[in-house]
Structure 1
């Protein structure tokens, strides 16, 4: 991991950290590791934020039903500031950058790929939540675009242990040429 590497930290936001309908119980447990990784290279970090619809029922196709189901998580009903990053990460911006997205994938409807290409990035370190939702969309999009991906297994979180474990198994067994499971300590030692 060298100068062409960037840390993509996925959706470590207050609305998942705090007691909401989308609370991710063990986000608090992995947050210190994520903070260490961001602090090590904040100028080489992009933190995504999932921005929910403004109103219940808003969105294209199935997203409209999704936001009717999760009306409590629309911006009309969320308390102010819950879409913000976890406080320890917010303090690292800038130099860390923020990328807002309205779907699971950070590659759709954003300039993420162009930003990375302009910086000569070819390798991504991935952390965040949830393992089987937004992190999965981030990883698969990166693979499709040809990025080398390091998934930091002890800096991921989910609200479903079984799905988290299944994804880690999949990364080990199915994507060996493109996705490399690593630990926080391995990244900190290898990223020069």
Structure 2
């Protein structure tokens, strides 16, 4: 079982891949340097069970004025990623992942946490999912927010250590330490190879 506490119940597990979009790729305004480096590990998990994969996309507002609260200030600073400015193709998933949709599905969100789209939790619960394998971008922003939401909702959380990317090594490393030391009862961490060894999705 490696670093995991028990095998992964394939009938109750979904691979939740966060925001692996062209927006964060080499051509995007929010380029995350190691997104391409972790892509092979992420693809390995997707290919194990495309039909058990959920992708999310971060979709900015059309303009800062369409955002609410402090998001208005945020998108005034980052106006170049609002939909009235940004190339819409940059909002798409990275090409190696997009080809798996369908059967993989996509949930769009307007905030950091995947669960800011209320339909995601309903979708997962409706299919009996209680375990999430987490990959994606960025470790210290959307991944962090999603994991904390999932902890509150009671999911078993398996973080694929080599399937996460960030633009800041220091906070990436700090977050992995936080999960291991402060959330050890609720968050498990393993390399993608170890996860694959314990995960047999239904055919």
TM-score tier (shorter):
over 0.9
After TM superposition, the structure 1 = structure 2 runs for residues 156-175 of structure 1, keeping only pairs within 5 Å, are 156-175=164-183
Task: Give every structure 1 segment of 4 or more consecutive aligned residues whose post-TM-superposition deviation is greater than 2 Å.
Answer: 18-21
Q: Distance in 1 between matches of 2:145 and 2:46?
A: 21
The reply on whether 1:40 has 2:48 as its aligned counterpart is yes
Query: Greater relative contact order: 1 or 2 (C-alpha under 8 angstroms, separation 6 or more)?
Result: 2
Structure 2: segments with no counterpart, 5+ residues: 1-7
Q: Distance in 2 between matches of 1:115 and 1:20?
A: 30
After TM superposition, the structure 1 = structure 2 runs for residues 35-74 of structure 1, keeping only pairs within 5 Å, are 35-74=43-82
Q: Distance in 2 between matches of 1:121 and 1:111?
A: 14
Q: Distance in 1 between matches of 2:188 and 2:117?
A: 26
Q: Distance in 2 between matches of 1:57 and 1:168?
A: 35
After TM superposition, the structure 1 = structure 2 runs for residues 8-23 of structure 1, keeping only pairs within 5 Å, are 8-23=16-31
The reply on whether 1:7 has 2:15 as its aligned counterpart is yes
Q: Distance in 2 between matches of 1:83 and 1:105?
A: 17
How many residue pairs align between the two structures?
192
Q: Would the aligned equivalents of 2:64 and 2:71 in 1 still touch at CA under 8 Å? A: no
Match of 1:114 among 101, 110, 122: 122
Q: Give 1:5 shift.
A: 0.8
CA RMSD after TM alignment: 0.9
Match of 2:95 among 87, 94, 108: 87
Q: Would the aligned equivalents of 1:58 and 1:67 in 2 still touch at CA under 8 Å? A: no
Partner of 1:27: 35
Q: Distance in 1 between matches of 2:188 and 2:51?
A: 23
Structure 1: segments with no counterpart, 5+ residues: none
